[in-house]
């Protein structure tokens, strides 16, 4: 094995490590986006529930 072959093998190894890191980063990004989406839906539902409660309170008063 010549010197150039050693560098080639090292380059391929680094390339595989870089690909693995990029996959990990991509998966982590997908997971975070999914969590943010879930949190957004939960906050939206809380807001809808609060509005419904306020409307129920207004309906219960019957001050007309």
Structural domain count, the chain:
1
Residue 23 maps to a domain: no
pLDDT at 33 (0 to 100) = 93
Q: What is the pLDDT of residues 6-47, one digit of tens each?
A: 666 777 777 888 999 999 999 999 999 999 988 888 888 888
Report CA dihedral (22, 28, 33, 39) to the nearest 10 degrees: -170
Structural domain boundaries, residue 41: 28-54
In a domain, 60, yes or no: no
Distance separating alpha carbons of residues 32 and 58, to the nearest angstrom: 39
């Amino acid at each position: 094995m010549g010197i150039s072959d050693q560098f080639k093998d090292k380059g391929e190894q680094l390339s595989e490590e870089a690909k693995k890191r990029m996959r990990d980063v991509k998966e982590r990004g997908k997971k975070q986006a999914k969590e943010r989406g879930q949190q957004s839906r939960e906050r939206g539902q809380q807001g809808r529930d609060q509005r419904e409660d306020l409307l129920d309170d207004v309906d219960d008063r019957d001050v007309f």
